[in-house]
Amino acid sequence: MTSRVDPGRRRFSPARLLIYAVLILAAAYYLLPLYVMLVTSFKTLEQISNGSLLSLPSPFTTQGWLDAWGTACTGVDCSGLHRYFWNSVAFTLPAVLISTGVGALNGYILTKWRFRGSELFFGLLLVGTFVPFQMFLLPMAWTLGRIGLANSIAGLILVHSVYGIAFTTLFCRNYYVNVPDELVKAARVDGAGFFTIFWRIILPLSVPILMVSLIWQFTQIWNDFLFGIVFTSGSQHPITVALNNLVNTSSTGIKRYNVDMAAAMITALPTFIVYIIAGRYFVRGLTAGAVKG
């Protein structure tokens, strides 16, 4: 008579328990800096100086977050992040949408509407992904000055959109290779045009790779420091530059670690939210174009 293995015993076998224990320890080790930042942001300066790094806030205070956000600040010299947070929102969202939209359109053209020299065109775009962005600083600065967009949010939108198109085109082109050509041919026979096919057929199939492009671009653009500090100044700075200025300056000469940690959390929060909302599409979109068939 065949014996059956108890499902509960299989589920909690020593090997499986060891794997979970290792994973939990690795996750705890990885999340420890985040924990330290979070609890420190809610402590007073006295507790930070005299207490333990891992201890919970006692008393619990949100003053560090209020000072980091700068709700009570007015004027150009305000040290809070609220003004610069909205600067980053103002150029990040348009740049992400423009670069992702143009990249999707380029990928569609390069796979389903090939033209003479399309492979050369794609090769040149591919080269753009390997060029260090430091090499774009002088040409971009000259261009922004010539067209009147220097030191402006619109200038940052243009810079990040142009620089991101090479990456989003690469993502979308590799994804659209796996979309059957018969779908496009059938739509042409039915009388659908270039944009109708793109809007009605290609885009509905593109959710995973569009999410990859959106997450990639949002993370790169929001966290960018170099373009922000080179192409803007003063009140036009993005939040990353403002965070650097806040952490490295103090009007009292006292290092306010609670404010610094809260400011870092505020800066990182939008990318964290984006990954939570759209992260499940990320791996699916990255692997969709890895194997054909």
pLDDT digits (tens, 9 = 90+) for 257-266: 899 999 999 9
DSSP 245: H
Does 154 share its domain with 34? no
Identify whether 76 is part of a domain: no
Identify whether 242 is part of a domain: yes
State the pLDDT at residue 4. Answer: 56
Does 170 share its domain with 32? no
Identify whether 15 is part of a domain: yes
DSSP 258: H
Does 96 share its domain with 142? yes
Q: What's the mean pLDDT in 48-55?
A: 85
Does 94 share its domain with 193? yes
Does 171 share its domain with 29? no
Identify whether 131 is part of a domain: yes
Across the chain, what does the average pLDDT equal? 85
Does 211 share its domain with 247? yes
Q: What's the mean pLDDT in 196-223?
A: 91
Identify whether 73 is part of a domain: no
Burial 102-117 (b: 16+ CB within 10 A, else e): bbbbbbbbbbbeeeee
Range of the domain at 159: 82-288
Please check the confidence at residue 180 and state whether its pLDDT lies above 80: yes
Q: Could you give the percent of the chain with pLDDT greater than 90? A: 46
Q: How confident is the model at residue 288 (pLDDT cuts 50, 70, 90)?
A: low
> How many structural domains are present in the chain?
2
State the pLDDT at residue 246. Answer: 86
- The helix (H) or strand (E) run that includes residue 272 is helix 257-278
